């Protein structure tokens, strides 16, 4: 029985007078009597919907949304009011799961703070399309690094090699007119240690985030962090080049960590405090390493070394834009008021940075090192 036939049957048998409400117990009996195809999570949510109503009824439109896998704002408010009816450990006790479904369950508990959302995600998740964005970006970064490493026979501190800095992908203040460099620098890295750190975080944090929130949201957050990183460097450290995807990585990490802190009581990921401390220590040490390379390089170089400001700009983007994007894993961004405020602020920053790069260097008489 398809969804349209199911909905027609429900309306004919349970709401013949078109009152707009359906008794939850009566509907549950219909489901079991006719063996209708409805996910267990949706039945749990049906109970929550009924408990949110004083007469134990469900609004017909909310029921349509439930069966059609749509959740409006009113639907989600009703679910939140009746959330106490949902089994709190249902997914953890789910028996007989395969390896992939266990991974999906792990992702649900790693990313989502509410049991109702975990159930919804677990039963709705499909393996197609896979989380291709973060995997593709990481693979491209590794390939570019290997190509330059093999060509230059240099695997650490690659930015000290003049030929490496001649790459058309590196952002250099002398090449600001080549606008693609403000994004493509994310494929270049200082050395093996920076690539390893970024690739590890992209796969450990970025892939689960993409599985839950989708390609569009995570790619938007990642690229916004990358772009903000290079533009911030062009404003605050006008002589320095930029390499590495740290702006995007820090946007993802700071958004996820901020989401965990904001929903601390609801997060069920194991050892969350220890993991957060380790993440902060690793991120801080990476920033410290970038500061050291910028101001106290271990080897003589022909020009300034890459700036660390991209890390900080990515973190700011993650806390501001990321919290809005990750607040509701399925609500459309255009329906969130906070999203428009964040988008306006980010757009204002972009306009300011564009005008700065066009006019400020000449007005301030900045001494830019010659591009390699």
Task: Give the catalytic positions in this structure.
Answer: 246, 311
Q: Which residues of the chain form beta strands (DSSP E)?
A: 21-23, 57-59
* Distance of alpha carbon 71 from alpha carbon 331, whole angstroms: 8
C-alpha to C-alpha distance for 230 and 354, rounded to whole angstroms: 11
Q: Which helix (H) or strand (E) holds 86?
A: none
User: 59-72 burial, b if ≥16 CB within 10 A, otherwise e?
Assistant: bbebbebbbeeebe
Q: How far apart are CA 262 and CA 258, in angstroms?
A: 6
Q: Report the SS3 class of residue 240.
A: coil
CA atoms within 13 A on the CB side of 239: 13
Cα atoms in the 13 Å half-sphere on the side-chain side of 325: 27
Helix axis angle, 40-51 to 24-34, nearest 10°: 160
Measured CA to CA, the distance from residue 150 to residue 183 in angstroms comes to 24
- Distance, in Å, from the CA atom of 10 to the CA atom of 31, rounded to the nearest integer, reads 10
Name which of 255, 204, 247 is nearest 227 in CA terms.
247
N- to C-terminal Cα distance for the chain?
67
């Amino acid at each position: 029985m398809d969804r349209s036939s199911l909905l027609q049957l429900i309306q004919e048998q349970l709401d013949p007078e078109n009152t707009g409400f359906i008794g939850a117990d009566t509907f549950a009996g219909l489901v079991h009597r006719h063996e209708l195809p409805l996910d267990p999570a949706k039945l749990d949510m049906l109970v929550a919907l009924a408990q949110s109503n004083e007469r134990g009824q469900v609004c017909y439109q909310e029921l349509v949304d439930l069966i059609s896998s749509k959740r409006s704002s009113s639907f989600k408010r009703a679910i939140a009011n009746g959330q106490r009816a949902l089994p709190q450990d249902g997914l953890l006790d789910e028996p007989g799961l395969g390896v992939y479904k266990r991974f999906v369950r792990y992702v649900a508990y790693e990313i989502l703070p509410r049991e109702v959302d975990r159930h919804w995600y677990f039963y709705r998740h499909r393996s197609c399309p896979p989380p291709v964005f973060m995997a593709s970006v990481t693979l491209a970064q590794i390939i570019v690094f290997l190509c330059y490493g093999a060509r230059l026979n240099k695997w650490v501190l690659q930015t000290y090699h003049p030929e490496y800095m001649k790459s058309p992908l590196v952002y250099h203040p002398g090449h600001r007119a080549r606008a693609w460099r403000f994004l493509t620098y994310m494929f270049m890295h200082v050395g093996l240690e920076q690539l390893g750190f970024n690739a590890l975080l992209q796969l450990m944090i970025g892939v689960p985030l993409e599985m839950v929130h989708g390609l569009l949201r995570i790619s938007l957050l990642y690229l916004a962090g990358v772009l903000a990183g290079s533009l911030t460097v062009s404003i605050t450290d006008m002589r320095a080049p930029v390499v590495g995807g740290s702006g995007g990585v820090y946007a993802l990490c700071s958004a996820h960590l901020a989401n965990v802190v904001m929903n601390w009581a609801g997060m069920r990921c194991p050892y969350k405090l220890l993991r957060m401390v380790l993440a902060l220590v690793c991120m801080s040490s990476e920033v410290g390493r970038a500061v050291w390379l910028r101001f106290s390089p271990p080897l003589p170089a022909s020009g300034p070394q890459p700036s660390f400001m991209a890390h900080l700009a990515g973190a700011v983007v993650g806390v501001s834009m990321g919290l809005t994007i990750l607040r509701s894993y399925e609500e459309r961004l255009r329906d969130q008021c906070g999203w428009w405020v964040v988008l306006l602020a980010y757009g204002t920053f972009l306009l300011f940075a564009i005008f700065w790069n066009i006019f400020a260097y000449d007005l301030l008489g900045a001494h830019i090192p010659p591009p390699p």
